[in-house]
Amino acid sequence: MKKLLIFALLMSLLVPMNVKAEEEGSPRGRKAEVNEIRLDLQQVRSKVAENHANRLERRFKFYYERLSRIMDKFQARIEYLKTQDKDTTVVQTKLDAAKAKLEAAKVKGEEAVAAFRAIEPGKWEEQKPEMLAARDLAEDARKLFKESFGLLKDALKELKNISRPALPAASPALKED
């Protein structure tokens, strides 16, 4: 069975080679081959660009949803602390800044995905500047997501300071030991 499959595979590979060898002698055969290669490259580039846009879209959507859920829980914690008469203005300010960065990152990510989808693979060489611009938009979106996360971490540090009761200062008697 294996021998038969290997033989069939070899025959399917050799038959197209013979046809191409006959065509290579003529200029039409070479032009057709070059056009076929260009068409194949365009199809590959199209798939690569579409896959890249899809990956970016999924990744940015995941970042946005995850950070949004964390921020919602964070906001609920701030509201709880407000009911206990704690001063949460600093934490709320940092959380609002993180939310603003997150929204900016979402918009920039959507722009990057749209830019990648707008690139036509048939005109790849002509659209290289557009591809580089789309890449820069994606990088800017990623940086904004990171900045939002950094602001969220800063707000969490402030929240921990508010949530924890102040530890009493160590008494001088304990320091003597």
Cα separation, 127 vs 133, whole angstroms: 10
Q: Can you give the residue ranges of every domain in the chain?
A: 24-162
Cα separation, 82 vs 79, whole angstroms: 5
pLDDT mean for each 10 residues of the chain (177 residues): 52 52 59 78 74 91 96 93 90 94 96 87 72 91 96 92 65 52
Cα separation, 131 vs 122, whole angstroms: 13
Q: What angle do CA 162, 143, 160 make, to 5 degrees?
A: 10
Distance of alpha carbon 156 from its chain centroid, rounded? 25
Question: Which residues contact residue 144 at a Cβ distance below 8 angstroms, ignoring those fewer than 6 apart?
Answer: 101, 102, 104, 105, 108
Structure confidence at residue 165 (pLDDT) = 62
Structure confidence at residue 103 (pLDDT) = 96
Cα separation, 113 vs 57, whole angstroms: 6
